[in-house]
Amino acid sequence: GAGVSQSPSNKVTEKGKDVELRCDPISGHTALYWYRQSLGQGLEFLIYFQGNSAPDKSGLPSDRFSAERTGGSVSTLTIQRTQQEDSAVYLCASSSFSDTQYFGPGTRLTVL
Amino acid sequence: AQSVAQPEDQVNVAEGNPLTVKCTYSVSGNPYLFWYVQYPNRGLQFLLKYITGDNLVKGSYGFEAEFNKSQTSFHLKKPSALVSDSALYFCAVRDLRRGGADGLTFGKGTHLIIQP
């Protein structure tokens, strides 16, 4: 079946611009996760959604980062006023409740 | 808090030889352990997991991992390496008591290089 999909695959933006990254989880998966992979920090957990429950935002690196999940399915990660240190690969994963997480291909974000 | 250590940045193995990629972990409760593999410019692919039960877990592509509670280790192994196994390998842990709320904590990753 279809796996986790993410769009765009690559995004180049200028410092100070806002960006939106999209994740389509595996159909039927109730849990959705965002991670960031960068050379300096490795793989960092950002945020977790379980169904329609309000997410725990404490893992987000700054208040410029926000995420939402509409209808318990598609999720959007928004970064406002991007900075060069935001450059990274943003990975999305989904799972059945608390089970194995399956990852999408990622969005490579480059902030110039 | 939970943490994972992968002590080797790189492991070099000749094709056909057995391979081991090391991982140790720390969690407050019982661990939920994973191995993922990442090929260049790709996302993470799930290899195997341990929750409870047999300490030796078998996964995809002939890989297996051994859970050792006393040593808090979860080393990845394969009896005979293939050149196509060359990739970046990540060990990850989650505390079972927390459900999914903390996400996965990953190690730094180990580059596995299989030489023909």
pLDDT in tens, B35-75: 999 998 788 999 999 988 889 999 999 999 999 999 999 99
Per CB-CB distance under 8 Å, the chain A contacts of B47 are none
A102 interaction partners in chain B (CB closer than 8 Å): 46
Residues A53-68, mean pLDDT to the nearest whole number: 86
| Contact: A42, B45; criterion CB under 8 Å | no
B42 to chain A, any CB pair closer than 8 A? The answer is yes
Q: Which of A45, A56, A77 to mutate to test the interface with B (most CBs of B within 10 A)?
A: A45
pLDDT tens digits, one per residue of A77-101: 999 999 999 999 999 999 987 689 9
Q: Which domains are assigned to chain B?
A: 3-115 (2.60.40.10)
Which tens digits make up the pLDDT trace of A31-40?
899 999 998 7
Helix (H, G, I), strand (E, B) or coil at B80: coil
Tokens of B116: 């023909």
Cβ-contact A70, A12 below 8 angstroms = no
All structural domains of chain A, each given as residue ranges with its CATH number in brackets, are 5-104 (2.60.40.10)
Give residue-wise pLDDT tens across range B78-100: 999 999 999 999 999 987 666 56
- Dihedral-angle region of residue A17 (phi above 0 means left; psi in -120 to 50 means alpha; beta otherwise): beta
d(CA A32, CA B100): 9
Give the DSSP letter string of A58-75.
TTSSSTTEEEEESTTS-E
Helix (H, G, I), strand (E, B) or coil at B83: helix
The answer to whether A48 contacts B105, with C-beta atoms less than 8 Å apart, is no
DSSP one-letter code for A56: B
Amino acid occupying residue B70: S
Chain A positions with Cβ closer than 8 Å to B: 4, 31, 33, 35, 42-43, 45-46, 48, 50, 56, 59, 91, 93, 95, 97-98, 100-106
Measured between CA atoms, the residue of chain B closest to residue A105 is B43
By CB atoms closer than 10 A (0-12, 13-18, 19+), residue A88 is buried
Mean pLDDT of chain A: 91
Task: Decide if A101 and B102 are in contact by the 8 Å CB cutoff.
Answer: no
pLDDT at B94 (0 to 100) = 86
